[in-house]
Amino acid sequence: MIINNIEDGSLPDYLIIGGGPAGITLATQLASKDKNILLIEAGGLEFDEKVQSHYKGEVVGDKYYDLDVTRLRYLGGSSNHWGGNCAPLDEYDLKNWPISYNELKNFEIDAKKILNIKNEFIKYEKSIFNSFDLSSIEDGYVNFKDKYLDQIKDSKNINLLLNSSVLSFQPDKTGSRVEYLNIIINENLKKIKLSSHNKVILACGGIENSRILLWSRELYKGNFLEGLPIGKYWMEHPSGEIGHFISEKNKVESVFKKKNYFLVPSKKFLENEKLNNVRFSIQFWEKTGNETFKHFVKDLVCIAPHFGKKIIESLSNNVVHCLSAIKFSIEQKPDIENSVNLSKSSLDKYDIPRIQLKWNIKDDVFFSLKKSLEKLGQESIEKNIGRVGVDRFVYDQSFKNSKDIFANHHHMGGTIMSKGRDGVVDQDLKVKNVSNLYVIGSSVFPSGGHFNPTFTIIQLTLRLAKHLTT
C-alpha cells in the first residue's frame, strides 16, 4: 500500500531505497516470500522537474549526457524511458566477478518473466566469419511503475513511501552498522532509528548509489565505509557509428540472419587478442545519389578498384547496392580514474553535494575496436561479403573532439563487488564492514561487457532476494 509517513519502531525488516527496476523487483520478490518491506522512493508517480533537478551534476572528461537527462527520479526510475534491450552478459564478461556465470544463469528464466521476454537468447551462434559469431538482444521493454504499481498498492507486505529522499546513513559508534536513516519526508528532515533486525538495501541507480555512500562517509568519517573504493571504476558502454560496410544489401543481411542479431568476436578471438568484448550491428543507408555515398564510392575505387568498379557498373544498371553504417557497443575496462565524486562547490536543495562525474574513453577501447574492425574487414574480403571502412577516429581518437556523445545511458561501477579488499560490496552485495547495508544495481558490476545492463541487474536482484530470505 502507499503510505505517507514512517515512525521509529514501526519499521519492517527490509528497507529498500529507490523504486526503479532493482528496488521494485526486490520488493515484490521479498513480498512473495511473505516478508515486510518499506520501499522509499524520492519521486512521486509522475515526472516532476523540481525532484528531477536533484540529479543535476557536472561531467569532466569526454562528452556525456547531462546527468539529469540520463536517468529519471520517480517511481519506476529510468524504466520510464529506457529502450528495453535485454541480454545476459557473456561468460567472458564475468571473469573478474566474485560470482560465477552459472550462479547468474540460475536466475535467467525468472528474469525473463519479469521483463516479459519469451524468446531464447542466442549466444555465439556460428556466423559466416571465422572470428565473429552472432548473439541476440531481446525486447524486454517493461515500465516497472506501470507493471507493478497496482500489485504494490494491493500488497499487504509492501509499504511504499513516495516523495521521500534518503540523504545519508548514520552509523553506530563502531561504524559497523547503520543506525539512522536521514531522510526528507514531506519536505521535512527526519532521522529514523533502525532496530537490530532492519536491513537497508540501497537501489538508487548507477550514479546515486555512490553519491549516497560517499556523502555518508564524508559526514560521519571514522571507521564507517573507511577505505572502500566508493565511486571508483565507473563504466559506460561507449557506442555509436564507427565505420561503414560497402556491399550488396542481401549479402550483408545474410551475415546478420535476423534483425536482433549482432556480430560479436568469437571467444577464441577475444581471448587470443585480449580484447574488450564488443558487438557490431548494421544500419542500412538506402540512398545512392547523395554526396556522402559518392564520396565513399570514390574512396572505394581507390582502395578496392575491382570491387568499386563492380558497384559503379551495377549502379548505372540501376541495381541497388548498399552502403551501411557499422554501429558498435563496447566494454570499457574498469579504470580507477573514471569515477563518481562529490562536487566541492555545488550543492542541491538539501545541501548535499552534487555529482562530479569523471569519465574518459581510454586506449583499451580504441585498441579493441581497431583490432576487431580490421579483422572484420579482412574476413569480409576473404568471404566475398564486401569492404569495411573504418572511421579515422578509431586511429587518432579524434571523436573526443566531436559533438556526438559515444555512450549509452548505462551507468555501471562505483560500488563494485569483490571477494577481496578492492570492492565496496562482497559477493552477497553487502557493504564491506557494515552488517546491515546492501547495494543493488549496475553500480555493483566489477566489469560491464557490452550488453545493456538491466537484464543482469534483474538477475542479481533475484539472487539478492534469495540470499536475504534463506
Which residues contact ligand FAD (rule: CB under 6 A)? 17-23, 40-43, 70-71, 73-75, 77-79, 81-86, 165-166, 203-205, 208, 212, 409-410, 441-442, 452-454, 457
- CB of 300: closest distance to ligand FAD in angstroms? 34
Cell of 447: 566489469
Helix (H) or strand (E) holding 24: helix 21-32
Residue written as grid cell 574480403: 381
Q: Which is nearer to ligand FAD, 255 or 440 (CB)?
A: 440
- CB of 442: closest distance to ligand FAD in angstroms? 6
| Position 33, amino acid | K
Q: Which residues of 423-432 are buried (b: 16+ CB within 10 A; e: fewer)?
A: bbbbbebbbb
Q: Which is nearer to ligand FAD, 191 or 309 (CB)?
A: 191
Residues 6 or more apart whose Cβ sits within 8 Å of residue 157: 30, 31, 34, 35, 36, 37
Q: Is 22 exposed, middle or buried (0-12, 13-18, 19+ CB in 10 A)?
A: buried
In this structure, what are the phi and psi dihedrals at residue 426, rounded to the nearest 5 degrees? Answer: -90, -175
Q: Which is nearer to ligand FAD, 128 or 184 (CB)?
A: 184
- CB of 115: closest distance to ligand FAD in angstroms? 9
Q: Which is nearer to ligand FAD, 214 or 373 (CB)?
A: 214
- CB of 316: closest distance to ligand FAD in angstroms? 42
Q: Which is nearer to ligand FAD, 64 or 74 (CB)?
A: 74
Task: Tell me the β-bridge partners of 180.
Answer: 170, 193
Taking the chain, what is the end-to-end CA distance rounded to the nearest angstrom? 25
- CB of 381: closest distance to ligand FAD in angstroms? 33
Q: Which residues of 99-119 are buried (b: 16+ CB within 10 A; e: fewer)?
A: beeeebeebbebbbebbebee
- CB of 76: closest distance to ligand FAD in angstroms? 6
Residue whose Cβ sits closest to ligand FAD: 20
Distance of CA 321 to the CA centre of its chain: 36
**393, 258 contact by CB (below 8 A):** no
- CB of 99: closest distance to ligand FAD in angstroms? 18
- The Cα–Cα gap between 300 and 248 comes to 14
Q: Which is nearer to ligand FAD, 184 or 312 (CB)?
A: 184
- CB of 354: closest distance to ligand FAD in angstroms? 13
Q: Which is nearer to ligand FAD, 240 or 377 (CB)?
A: 240
Q: Is 227 exposed, middle or buried (0-12, 13-18, 19+ CB in 10 A)?
A: exposed
**256, 132 contact by CB (below 8 A):** no
Q: Which is nearer to ligand FAD, 389 or 448 (CB)?
A: 448
- CB of 351: closest distance to ligand FAD in angstroms? 14
- CB of 62: closest distance to ligand FAD in angstroms? 18
Q: Which is nearer to ligand FAD, 229 or 414 (CB)?
A: 414
What is the sign, positive or negative, of the torsion defined by CA atoms of 439, 208, 179, 3? negative
Q: Which is nearer to ligand FAD, 265 or 441 (CB)?
A: 441
In this structure, what are the phi and psi dihedrals at residue 462, rounded to the nearest 5 degrees? Answer: -65, -40
